[in-house]
Chain A
Amino acid sequence: MKIVVCVKQVPEVTNVQVDPVTGTLIREGVQSILNPFCEYALDHAVRMAKQLENAHVVAISMGPPQAKDVLLRCLELGADEGILVTDRQFAGADTWATSYTLAQAIRLAVPDYDLILVGKQAIDGDTAQVGPEIAEILSLPQITYGTQIGLSPSGRQVRVTREVEQGYEVVEAAMPALVSFSKGEMVRRAPSFRDVLQAREKPLRMLSAAALNIPEEELGLKGSFTQVVKVFPPPEKKTGRLLQDLEAEEAAQAIFDYLIERRFIE
C-alpha cells in the first residue's frame, strides 16, 4: 500500500510580530516548523503503515529549498521517502496553484498511491482548501476533520472517524481517497537517535517545475485565481480596565459589580 502525505513548512505564527511603526511583519528570527496538522497526518500514515505489510509512506512538500528540513523531519518520524517540489516559479501561489502543482507531482512521482493524507489546514494560511482541491483535481472521494483512520474489514475501503459539530461520525470511502486530519494520535513516540541517523539514508529528492510538465502560466502567482491587493495591520483593539494586586475576594467582587453595571445580572 502506498500512502502519500502532503506536508508544509510554516512560520511559527504564535511568535510573529508586527512592526508597530510600519504595520508589516518582522521576519527575522521567526522559526520554521512542520505544520502541526501535517504532523498529525504523518503520524497516522506511519502507524497505518506499521500495521500492514509492504506499506510505503511518501512525504511530499511544495516549498522553497529550506522546506527540505520538514521533509527530513518526516523521515525521522517514520516516512520512507521524501519529495520536495521546489522552483522559483511556484512563488506566490494561491491555494489553487498549490493544489494543482502538488496533484501533478503526486501523479508523476507516486502514480500508484492508495491514500493521500493531509493536515486539515496550515497555521499560516488557515484556509483548509488545499486538501479538498487536490482531491477534486485527482477526482478522489474525501473525508475531512479526521481523528482516527483504519481500513474496513474487506481492506478495500478506508474508515475514518471524523469530528462533526455535535460529536463524531464514522465514514467509509473506497480507495484511492484523500483524508484530512484535525487530530493526531493520542500517544506519540519521539524519534530515537537511530531514527534520526536512518533518516539521512532514506531517499529525499527534489522536483522542479520542468519535471512536472505544467505550463508556466499555471504556476505560482501567474497561475493563481486570487490576488492580494493590500496588506495592513489589524484594527487597534479597544483598551479596557486592568485590575491588579487584588485578593481573590476583591477581584471576584469587582467582576460581580461589573456584571451588575453591565446588566448581565439584575
Chain B
Amino acid sequence: MLKIDHERCTKCKLCIRNCPFGALSMVDDLLQVNELCTLCGACINVCRFDALSIERKKASKEELAKFRDVFIWIELDEMGETIQPKKVALELLGKGRQLADALGEQLVAVVLCGEKCLDLNKLGQFGADKVILCQHPLLGQYSTDGFTHAMCAIISAKKPAVVLYGATPHGRDFAPRVAARLKLGLTADCTGLEIDAERQLVQTRPAFGGNIMASIITPYNRPQTATVRPNVFPVPQAGQDQAVKVEIFDLVLNRSAIRTRVVEKSVMADGNATRIEDARVIVSGGRGCQKAANLDILRSVAGQLGGVLGGSRAIVEQGWIPHTIQVGQSGTTVGPELYIAAGISGAIQHVVGMSSSKTIIAVNKDPEAPIFKIADLSVVGDAVEIMQKLHELLAAHSHI
C-alpha cells in the first residue's frame, strides 16, 4: 500500500509527474493513488517532504527460514568427447558464492545429465560446496518436460532459498515452467543480484528496453528464482583441485512424461571458428554495411584480429547472417575484450547485448548514432570504406 501523509504533502505534484504508471493524481485538492500503482517507489524517490511511504505485507520469517542455500543449475555443453559446464554456469557459481557467503549458507551446484557426465570436482574448483547429481538416461538430451520434472523434484525435496539459471535458450525454456508449477517468483535477465538486510534476494534488471532499471524482490515465495544472461558476471578464479561433496538425487521419470520429440537437427555453418559468446574479439555489422557481400570485409578484419563476425538483428532479418551470430536482446549477449561495431546504429536492443564488452570501437555515418554513447572510440564515417582500409593496414602490418 502506498501511504500518503496529507499533513506533509505540499501538493507540489512532483510525484504525479514522475510516476511511470500514471497512478497518482489530485482529486478534490488531495493527492490520491489508484490501482495502477505497482509500489515501484519512484514517487518516494522524488518527494522532498517525506509525505509518501510504502507498507508491505510481511511474510512469516519462520516459514521463509526453512529454505536455505543457493542452488545453481549447471548447464552442460558437449564438446566433442567431453562434457563441460557452460561458461555462464561458472559465472553464476562466482555470483552464487557471494550470495551464499552473504547468507552464511551453502552454494550447491545442480547437475542434470544422462549417462555421460562431467568431472564434478571442477564445480568445487569454481566455488560449489556441494553438487546434487541427478543422472537419468532421459536427461541425456534436453527436454522441457524432463528438465522441469527433475528441477521441481529437487527443489521440493531440498528447499533452497535461491535458484539461479543461465538465461540461455534452455534456461529460458524451462525456468518459467518450474516457477509456474511450484508457484515461485522468477525474474528474467538479471544484471544485478544482492542480499539485502532482510536476507532477501534483490534482483535488478533493465526494463522498457533498457531505458530504466528495476529492482525486484519475491517476498512471500521460496525459492527465489532468477535467470541471468551470459557475460554479465565474471568467471571466478579457479581454486584448488580437490574432491567436492556429491549427493546423488534419484529421479523417477517415464518416457511418457516427455511430450516433445526432436525429429531433425541441423548445425548451421556461420563461418566462425569459435562461438560468439566465447569469442575474445567480435567485429559486428549492421544495416550500415549496406549489403551482405560487404560482410566479407568484416569477416577478414575479424580473422586478422583473432576474432569472429557478429551482427545486429536488422541484418539477421535481411538474411545476411544466421541467427546464431546475432548480438542483442533477442539474440546472444556477448562480453568480449574487443567489440567493433561497423554500421550499427546502437538501438538499445542491440546495446544490451554487448554493453559489457571491455573495449568498444564504433564506426557509423551518423554523428548522432546512439552507439557512440557507449563506445570508447567513436569514428564518424562510412563503415565499409573504413573497414576496408583497416583491413589493408592490418594486412600490411602482418607482413612486416
Contact = CB atoms under 8 A, between A and B. Distances in A.
Interface of A: 11, 13-14, 16-19, 22-25, 27, 88-89, 91-92, 94-96, 99, 120-121, 123-133, 135-137, 141-145, 159, 163-174, 177, 182-183, 220-221, 225-234, 237-246, 248-249, 251-256, 258-259, 262, 264-265
A9 to B, nearest CB: 14
Nearest to B316: A183
B35 A92 contact: yes
A141 B148 CA distance: 11
A202 to B, nearest CB: 30
B262 to A, nearest CB: 5
Contacts of B18: 19, 22, 24
B377 A255 contact: yes
B35 A88 contact: yes
Contacts of B266: 167-169
Interface centre among A23, A27, A174, A232 (most CB of B within 10 A): A232
B168 A165 contact: yes
Contacts of B355: 237
B379 interface: yes
Contact of B174 (A132, A172, A251): A132
Contacts of B173: 132, 142, 144-145
B24 to A, nearest CB: 12
B179 A24 contact: no
Nearest to B304: A265
Interface centre among B144, B176, B377, B393 (most CB of A within 10 A): B176
A126 B268 CA distance: 26
A133 B176 contact: yes
Given A92-B39, A165-B275, 6 more contacts: A91-B35, A126-B188, A136-B148, A163-B323, A228-B41, A243-B379
13 contacts: A96-B179, A141-B260, A163-B169, A172-B263, A173-B261, A229-B217, A231-B42, A231-B207, A240-B376, A242-B372, A252-B393, A255-B379, A256-B390
A96 B180 contact: yes
Contacts of A172: 260-261, 263
Given A91-B35, A166-B267, A251 B373 contact: no
Interface stretch (B104-112, B113-121, B240-248, B381-389): B381-389
B56 A227 contact: yes
B188 A127 contact: yes
Contact of A225 (B218, B264, B373, B389): B218
A137 B180 contact: yes
Given A27-B20, A129-B176, A231-B42, A13 B208 contact: yes
A72 to B, nearest CB: 23
Contact of B41 (A141, A231, A242, A252): A231
A27 B378 CA distance: 31
B302 to A, nearest CB: 12
A165 B169 contact: yes
B208 A16 contact: yes
Interface string B34-59: 01111111100110000000001000
B46 A22 contact: yes
Given A25-B211, A132-B176, A169-B266, A225 B183 contact: yes
A221 B367 contact: no
Nearest to B202: A229
B144 A141 contact: yes
A74 to B, nearest CB: 21
A142 B147 CA distance: 13
A252 B209 contact: no
Contacts of A92: 35-39
Interface centre among A99, A142, A220 (most CB of B within 10 A): A142
Contacts of A121: 330
B124 interface: no
B251 interface: no
B324 A167 contact: yes
A147 to B, nearest CB: 8
Interface string B347-380: 1110000010001110100010000111111111
Contacts, number: 302
A232 B19 CA distance: 12
B183 A252 contact: no
A144 B172 contact: yes
A226 B372 contact: no
A227 B216 contact: yes
B382 A129 contact: no
Interface string B205-239: 01111111111111111000000000000000000
A126 B322 CA distance: 22
Nearest to B177: A136
Given A220-B35, A234-B211, A264-B338, A144 B40 contact: no
Interface string B265-297: 111100000010000010000000000000000
A237 B374 contact: yes
A144 B262 CA distance: 13
B329 interface: yes
Contacts of B264: 169-170
B170 to A, nearest CB: 9
B361 A226 contact: no
Contacts of A132: 144, 173-174, 176-177, 180
Interface centre among B20, B145, B148 (most CB of A within 10 A): B20
Interface in B62-107: none
Interface centre among B41, B208, B323, B394 (most CB of A within 10 A): B208
Contacts of A163: 169, 323
A228 B260 contact: no
A244 B211 contact: no
B186 interface: yes
B208 A255 contact: no
Contacts of A253: 389, 393
Contacts of B377: 240-241, 243, 254-255, 258
Contact of A238 (B39, B175, B263, B376): B376
A89 to B, nearest CB: 7
B267 to A, nearest CB: 4
B373 A237 contact: yes
